[in-house]
Amino acid sequence: MSGIGSLSAEEVEHHRAAGEALRTILDEAAEMVEPGVTHLEVAEHAEARIHELADGAAFPVNISIDDEASHATPGQDDKTEFGEDLVCLDVGVHVNGYIADAATTVDLRGEPDLVEAAEAALNAVLDEVAAGVDTGTLGTTIQETIESYGYTPVLNLSGHGVEQYDAHTGPNIPNRAVDRGQVLEAGDVVAIEPFATTGRGKVGEGSATEIYSLERERSVRDRTARQVMEQVVEKYRTLPFASRWFDLMRAEMAVRRLEQQGVLHGYPVLKETTGGLVSQAEHTVIVTEDGCEITTA
Ligand code: MN
Ligand code: MN
């Protein structure tokens, strides 16, 4: 057993364990997605399996439909069922804080080319990733691949690094051509996630928010709000969580109040601004000297 670049052997093992668990969970979740099944059933199954197979969720299971690209997760008692939808499933788990993040698109709508465009862009980039590669060139590959299918990449979403208990760090992996990005180093752990859309390629914030993370701990007087904050600090630390995760009366109201007080940061659902359909493909990789190891393969 040996390390990779800046990662110790132990850190590599944690990343591998997280990736292996995630692969199983994401496949199971994708298998469940069909008309008549609720979003909540899939999210709760996947999150229960996360607690069996890993140490916890890196973020709530994201279930994004059609023009939604990210940050959508069911609310408490959500009865929404899958229909003839384009469904992006995005799941993150951690083992001892080391994160795996992967996504797949389940097509109940009949958009195979759109799904393939994101997958092909991801596969093309995975062939290029190695220490010394500039992330700008990866963005060029993503954009060119998706455009070759006649679609547009979502330009204002990007891949990212992951660090212990931090699901979104540098380096940034753009989904479009940029002159200069960041140079990858051996031991960097990055999530690469091209999004392809039939729209113009920009997401904006929708009205719903179900995902939050801790912004700043402070004293709060309201009892439920205080219990929510204490659970967040203890269980989720800085990782994003869902307002439905609290087994407390009026927790969702307390979460909203904590957001207003600056204790929590909310992540509104991101939607393609022209209403385009969005597909997504994502893997987490460890960058090596001559390529990468896909932890979520
Ligand atoms: Mn993801
Ligand atoms: Mn990601």
Residue entry with tokens 């997280």: 18
Q: Where are the domains of the chain?
A: 9-205+274-294, 206-269
Q: Let me know: does 114 contact 283? Beta carbons within 8 Å.
A: no
Name the residues around ion ligand 1, CB cutoff 5 A.
90, 101, 103, 282
Q: Which of 11, 20, 66, 193 is catalytic?
A: 193
If you count them, how many residues does the chain have? 297
pLDDT tens for each residue of 182-230: 999 999 999 999 999 999 999 999 999 999 999 999 999 999 999 999 9
Q: Is 185 a catalytic residue?
A: no
Give the relative orientation of helices 112-128 and 135-148 as an angle to the nearest 10 degrees: 150
9-205+274-294 to CATH, choices 3.20.20.70, 3.90.230.10, 3.40.630.30, 3.40.50.150? 3.90.230.10
**9-205+274-294 and 206-269 agree in CATH topology:** no
pLDDT tens for each residue of 247-276: 888 999 999 999 999 999 999 999 999 999
pLDDT tens for each residue of 32-91: 999 999 999 999 999 999 999 999 999 999 999 999 999 999 999 999 999 999 999 999
Those residues whose C-beta lies under 8 Å from the C-beta of residue 30, and which sit 6 or more positions away, are: 89, 104, 106
Q: Is 160 a catalytic residue?
A: yes
Q: Is 282 a catalytic residue?
A: yes
Q: Is 52 a catalytic residue?
A: no
* Preceding amide of 171 cis, omega within 30: yes
The sign of the dihedral angle between the CA atoms of 8, 13, 16, 17 is negative
Q: Which of 85, 111, 282, 283 is catalytic?
A: 282
State in Å: Cα 194 to ligand 2 middle. 10
State in Å: Cα 223 to ligand 2 middle. 34
CA–CA separation, 193 vs 183, rounded Å? 18
Q: Span 206-269: which CATH code?
A: 1.10.10.10
